[in-house]
């Protein structure tokens, strides 16, 4: 038998418990933004402050997340994740106390920023960890397809968690109290992010690192145009997520059922997760560059359908179309990011991409919310179209700066 046939699978290399732990460990992150919004609106009776607080969480993650990735590349994931898990669990619990205290709203925003800044970057760290294992412990012929399958799984896991996270927040807030989601997120962070940090795979540091932990690639390589265009593309996806959820909430509020927006949004999320898993079986001749353009085009077409939706049935169909485009696009962008990561800096790149999604989501939610409140739902529904256009435009730019291979 050949080495390819006898080499172990990624599931065997990492172990099934790893995937279960990593899945649950990313749940608190999916609960943060919605949980913060829920508790602030309930305790302070201000939707405006709730939106600003959610944005503060996103800003904290966007500004500090890449530095956590760089630290993980330099010193290993374990110490970085352990510190982040302890600090973030403490900040989540402290936030509930600050919101219900008589402290000024400035302290609320500061505490929200601290939640985002200390958020453990489980999804990017998991991608980086698995890609490094693939590159160093699998034969060359199997790496490309295994990496594609891994990015498909990771994106599907993210989609599933980001659909279930807001649902869990709503359930806990309704059944117990508005502060319950924050306390639950704090406990999950301490237990499962801690377990993710202490898992044996966390000891794995890229062999491309020198003995002192330095990477062979310069920091300037993180700012290559071919990598930055991927970051801009994934920022567009983040903008789309934030704009679509906020515009959909306004759309459903016009019909007196705003609380059903999350359920309808799940139509896109579930379809997106299923299609993301299917990307691994696409033929290699259907290149990453073409996938970006094709699935980004589907995202744009679905956004046009959203713009013309006049009833819940049409909106549901539009969301189903969007699910076909957004999941595979996200997988494609993460795969390109992994392929273009400078040596020894995969965690940094993955946290840059993750931060792009978060900051895009937070910014679009704030802008779309203002549009919906000031100009109505029709204006808000334009925002997902603009975000999808950014995804397509960056895909075209990527194709132009990447020469076709014979």
- Per-residue pLDDT tens digits for 133-191: 887 777 777 777 777 777 777 777 877 777 677 677 777 877 888 888 888 889 999 99
Place of tokens 């016009």: 254
User: Per-residue pLDDT tens for 85-128?
Assistant: 999 999 998 998 899 888 888 899 999 999 999 988 888 888 87
If you average pLDDT over residues 188-216, what whole number do you get? 71
User: Per-residue pLDDT tens for 243-300?
Assistant: 888 888 788 878 887 667 767 777 887 777 777 777 767 787 888 889 999 999 999 9
State residue 358's pLDDT score.
79
- Report the distance separating Cα 209 and Cα 214, nearest Å: 6
What architecture is the 15-207 domain classified under in CATH? Up-down Bundle (1.20)
State residue 181's pLDDT score.
85
Domain 216-406: assigned CATH number = 1.20.1250.20
Q: At what angle do helices 180-188 and 27-44 cross, to 10 degrees?
A: 160
This prediction's pTM: 0.76
The distance in angstroms from the start CA to the end CA of the chain is 33
- Report the distance separating Cα 195 and Cα 120, nearest Å: 12
- Report the distance separating Cα 29 and Cα 356, nearest Å: 15
- What totals of helices (H) and strands (E) does the chain contain, helices first? 18, 0
Q: Are 15-207 and 216-406 in the same CATH fold?
A: yes
Domain boundaries, the chain: 15-207, 216-406
Place of tokens 């983040």: 238
State residue 91's pLDDT score.
93
Give the burial class of 383: count Cβ atoms within 10 A of its Cβ; 0-12 exposed, 13-18 middle, 19 or more buried: buried
Query: Which tokens belong to 199?
Result: 């898992």
State residue 3's pLDDT score.
45
* pLDDT, the chain, mean: 81
State residue 168's pLDDT score.
77
- Report the distance separating Cα 275 and Cα 289, nearest Å: 18
């Amino acid at each position: 038998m050949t080495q390819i046939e006898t080499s172990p699978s990624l599931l065997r290399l990492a172990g099934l418990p790893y995937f279960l732990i990593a899945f649950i460990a990313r749940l608190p992150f999916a609960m943060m933004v919605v949980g913060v919004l829920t508790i602030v609106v309930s305790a302070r009776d201000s939707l405006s402050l709730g939106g600003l607080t959610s944005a503060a969480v996103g800003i904290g993650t966007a500004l500090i997340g890449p530095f956590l990735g760089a630290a993980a590349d330099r010193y290993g994931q374990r110490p970085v994740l352990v510190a982040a898990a302890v600090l973030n669990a403490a900040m989540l619990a402290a936030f509930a106390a600050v919101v219900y205290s008589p402290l000024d709203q400035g302290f609320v925003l500061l505490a929200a920023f601290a939640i985002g800044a200390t958020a453990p970057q489980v999804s990017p760290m998991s991608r980086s960890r698995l890609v490094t294992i693939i590159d160093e412990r699998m034969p060359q012929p199997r790496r490309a397809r295994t990496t594609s399958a891994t990015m498909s799984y990771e994106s599907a896991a993210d989609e599933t968690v980001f659909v279930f996270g807001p649902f869990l927040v709503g359930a806990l807030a309704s059944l117990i109290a508005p502060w319950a989601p924050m306390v639950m997120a704090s406990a999950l962070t301490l237990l499962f992010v801690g377990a993710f940090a202490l898992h044996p795979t966390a000891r794995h540091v890229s062999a491309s690192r020198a003995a002192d932990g330095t990477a062979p690639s310069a920091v300037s390589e993180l700012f290559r145009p071919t990598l930055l265009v991927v970051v801009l593309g994934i920022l567009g996806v983040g903008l789309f997520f934030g704009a679509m959820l906020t515009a959909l909430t306004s759309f459903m509020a016009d019909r007196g059922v705003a609380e059903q927006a999350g359920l309808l949004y799940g139509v896109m999320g579930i379809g997106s997760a299923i299609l993301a898993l299917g990307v691994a079986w696409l033929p290699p001749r259907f290149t990453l560059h073409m996938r970006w353009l094709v699935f980004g085009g589907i995202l744009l077409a679905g956004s046009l359908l959203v713009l013309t939706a006049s009833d819940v049935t049409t909106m549901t169909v539009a969301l189903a179309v969007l699910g076909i485009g957004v999941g595979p696009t996200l997988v494609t962008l993460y795969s390109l990011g992994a392929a273009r990561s400078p040596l020894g800096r995969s965690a940094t790149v993955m946290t840059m991409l993750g931060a792009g999604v978060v900051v895009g989501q937070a910014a679009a939610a704030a802008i779309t919310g203002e549009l919906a409140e000031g100009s109505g739902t029709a204006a808000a529904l334009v925002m997902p179209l603009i975000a999808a256009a950014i995804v397509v435009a960056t895909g075209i730019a990527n194709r132009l700066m990447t020469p076709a291979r014979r």
